[in-house]
Amino acid sequence: MNVPKELRYTKDHEWVRVEGDAGVVGITDFAQDSLGDVVFVELPAVGTKLAQGATFGVVESNKSVSDLFAPVGGEVIAVNTRLVEQPELVNQAPYGDGWMIRLRVGAAGELAALMDAQTYQAHVESEHRG
Amino acid sequence: MALRTPLYDEHRALGARIVEFGGWDMPLTYAGALEEHRAVRTRCGLFDVSHMGEVTISGPQAAAAVARLTTNDVGRLRDGHAQYALLCNERGGIIDDLIVYRLDAQRFFIVVNAANAQRDVAWMQANLTGGTELRDESATWALMALQGPAAAEALGPLVQRPLAELPGFAIREDAIDGVTVRIARTGYTGEDGFEIFVPARQAAPLWRRVLERARATGGMPTGLAARDTLRLEAGMLLCGSDMDDRTTPWEAGLGWVVKGADFIGRAALEPLRAHPGRRLVAFQMDEPGVPRHGQSVFRDGERAGEVTSGTKSPTLDSFIGLAYVSGPSAAPGTGLAVEMRGKRLRAHVVTKPFYRRGGAKEGS
C-alpha cells in the first residue's frame, strides 16, 4: 500500500496535497484498491463552495458506489475532467493523474485535523483488522 | 461464517479478493475485474463455481418427475444433452433457474443456484412424483467453468476424447489425470466454454492443472465480478436479482423455456401469457452512471419500472442494465430515465443481448 509522506489524509480515504493556498484532492491507493476497477467518477462544478467533510462527488466501481468527502473546506477551482473519459486513472495513479479536484483552501487550520501518512497507515491497518 | 468451496485455499494463494455471495466465500477478483472480463472475451478464464448446487433425480419414472418440476420440455432431451429451465411455484412464480442434464433415461442431473440450493432441494423433494429418488450432491461435486474462445484449446490436451465431439449443451464423462469428471459445454458468459464437474476431494489438483493450461493459452483465473459483467452483456438473467418468485417467465422474457405440458405452475401461467403486466428489458444509458438494482425508471416523467441489474459494459464501453417496465415502455428505442442519487439520467431500451459471440453489436 502506497502512502506518500507529503500528503494529509481523512479517515474516509481521501488525500490532500497542499500547494500554496490550494489543495489537490483525490482518493488513496488503499481506497482505489478496495473499490476495484473504477468505472465512473462524478465531480462538482468549478466554483462550488464546499465545507470540510461535505460530499463533493461520487466514485463508482461495478461493485459499489462511494461518496467523496472534502478533506478541507474551500472553493473548487479545478476538476480533473480526464476522469470522465478515463476513470481508470483513479486506479492507475491515485496520487497523480487520478486526482479529482483542486480547492482554494478556506481555513488553513482545517488541515491540522487531518492525518499524516503514519497515522493514516495505522488507521487503515486497524480498520482492516477489525 | 460463510461456506467455503474445496478451492478456497487456491483462491487465497492466488491473492484473490474474497467476497460473500449466496452464503459462500467466493473469489470476487484476482488480477482485476476488467482484465478478467477481457480475458474471457478474448482468450479464456477459469471460474470456481463450486457454490452451485447439484441434484440427481433417478429411477424408472425420473423423466416424469423432472417434467413435473421444471418448465422446459424434458421429453425432448436425448442422453448426454441439457436444457435451460425454470422451477416454478403453483402461481407460476420463478423459484430458480437451472440446467437439466439427461445422463440417461433414468438419471437427470440438475444444477441450481447457490443461494437457492437448499430451498430448491426441499421444494423438489416435497413435489417429487413416485418411482424416483432425489439426491442432493452439492457437497460431492466441485465445479469449475472454463470459458472463452480459447477454452477448447486449453482443455483439449487434458481430456481423453476430442472436445469437438462435445456439442453445445452436451455433457459426457471424461477423465483428467485419471480422475473421472463430467464435462458439459455450458456456461454463463456468452462465450464457448465448459463446465467441469469434479469430485470435491480431487478439486484442488485438477484446478491447478486446468489453470496451468488456461494460462498457457493466454487465460487467467476469473472471479464473480467478471462473471456478472459477462453474463449481463450476454443478456443472461441472475435469479434473485432479475427474477424471483413473484416474477413469471413471461415477464422475465423466458417464455421460450415454458414448454412442458404439466409442470407445477403451468395452469396459473396460461391465462397470464397474453398480458404480462411488465417486461424485463435491456437498456443502455445515454448519460453516464452505473445503474443499480432497485433504482426507479421513468418514462415521460411517470414512473415506469425498476432496474434489476446494471454495470459498465467493458465490451461496449457503456453503461447498461436490465429493468422491468410496463408493457408500452418495452419497445426497443423507447426513451427512459433512470433515477440515480436524485437525478434522472437518460437511457433507452435496446434489444437483448448486449453482446453476441463473434462481435459486439452496435449500441442502437
Shared domain for B11 and B59, answered yes or no, is: no
Query: Is A60's Cβ below 8 Å from some Cβ in B?
Result: yes
Over the stretch A65-123, which tens digit does the pLDDT of each residue have? 999 999 999 999 999 999 999 999 999 999 999 999 999 999 989 999 999 999 999 99
Predicted local distance difference test score (pLDDT) of residue A127: 82
Shared domain for B285 and B206, answered yes or no, is: no
Shared domain for B184 and B88, answered yes or no, is: no
Confidence of residue B363 (pLDDT cuts 50, 70, 90): very low
Residue B138's alpha-carbon distances to A34, A89, B5, B117, B121, in angstroms, are: 32, 42, 11, 8, 10
Shared domain for B45 and B154, answered yes or no, is: yes
Shared domain for B162 and B181, answered yes or no, is: yes
Of B17, B33, B312, the CB nearest to A40: B312
- For B81, the domain range is 53-136
Minimum distance, in Å, between the CA of residue B154 and any CA atom of chain A: 27
Q: Indicate whether B267 belongs to any domain.
A: no
Over the stretch B205-233, which tens digit does the pLDDT of each residue have? 999 999 999 999 999 999 999 999 999 99
Predicted local distance difference test score (pLDDT) of residue A62: 85
B183: domain CATH number? 3.30.1360.120
Which residues partner with B94 through β-bridges?
B88
* Residues 6 or more apart in contact with residue B42 via CB below 8 angstroms: B148, B149, B218
Q: Indicate whether B175 belongs to any domain.
A: yes
Mean pLDDT of chain B: 96
B93-108 average pLDDT score: 98
Shared domain for B146 and B46, answered yes or no, is: yes
Over the stretch A14-35, which tens digit does the pLDDT of each residue have? 999 999 999 999 999 999 999 9
Predicted local distance difference test score (pLDDT) of residue B265: 98
B75: left (phi over 0), alpha (psi -120 to 50) or beta: alpha
Over the stretch B309-346, which tens digit does the pLDDT of each residue have? 999 999 999 999 999 999 889 999 999 999 999 999 99
Predicted local distance difference test score (pLDDT) of residue A129: 67
Interface of B to A at Cβ within 8 Å reads 17, 28-29, 32-34, 225, 228-229, 288-290, 292, 311-312, 319, 341
CB contact under 8 A, B17 and A36: yes
Q: Is the pLDDT score of B360 beyond 90?
A: no
Weakest mean pLDDT among A98-102, A126-130, B145-149, B253-257: A126-130
Q: Which domains does chain A have, with CATH numbers?
A: 11-107 (2.40.50.100)
Say what percent of chain B tops pLDDT 90: 95
Over the stretch B173-193, which tens digit does the pLDDT of each residue have? 999 999 999 999 999 999 999
CB contact under 8 A, B33 and A63: yes
- Give the integer Cα–Cα distance in Å for B350 and B334: 8
Predicted local distance difference test score (pLDDT) of residue B2: 86
Predicted local distance difference test score (pLDDT) of residue A108: 86
Q: Report cis status (omega within 30 of 0) of the bond before B353.
A: yes
B114-142 average pLDDT score: 96
H or E element at residue B160: none
Q: Indicate whether B249 belongs to any domain.
A: no
B31-56 average pLDDT score: 97
Higher pLDDT, B236 or B274: B236
Q: Indicate whether B272 belongs to any domain.
A: no
Q: Indicate whether B245 belongs to any domain.
A: no
- Give the integer Cα–Cα distance in Å for B293 and B310: 7
Shared domain for B210 and B192, answered yes or no, is: yes
Q: Indicate whether B252 belongs to any domain.
A: no
Confidence of residue B364 (pLDDT cuts 50, 70, 90): very low
List CB contacts (< 8 A) between B17 and chain A. 36
Counting the structural domains of chain B, the total is 3
Q: Indicate whether B34 belongs to any domain.
A: yes
Which of B136, B167, B201 finishes a domain? B136
The grid cell for B338 is 433512470
Predicted local distance difference test score (pLDDT) of residue B359: 58
List CB contacts (< 8 A) between B290 and chain A. 39-40, 60, 62, 65
Model confidence pTM above 0.90: yes
Residue B247's alpha-carbon distances to B112, B241, B252, in angstroms, are: 18, 11, 7
With vertex at residue B78, the alpha carbon angle to CA B73 and CA B82, rounded to the nearest 5 degrees, is 65
Query: Is A62's Cβ below 8 Å from some Cβ in B?
Result: yes
Shared domain for B15 and B157, answered yes or no, is: yes
Query: Is A12's Cβ below 8 Å from some Cβ in B?
Result: no
The grid cell for A54 is 461535505
Predicted local distance difference test score (pLDDT) of residue B347: 98
B104: domain CATH number? 3.30.70.1400
B225 to chain A: closest CA residue: A63
Asked if B140 contacts B57 with a C-beta cutoff of 8 angstroms, the reply is no
Shared domain for B287 and B348, answered yes or no, is: yes
* Residues 6 or more apart in contact with residue A109 via CB below 8 angstroms: none
Shared domain for B150 and B106, answered yes or no, is: no
Shared domain for B183 and B292, answered yes or no, is: no
CB contact under 8 A, B33 and A40: no
Shared domain for B129 and B183, answered yes or no, is: no
With vertex at residue A65, the alpha carbon angle to CA A64 and CA A66, rounded to the nearest 5 degrees, is 120
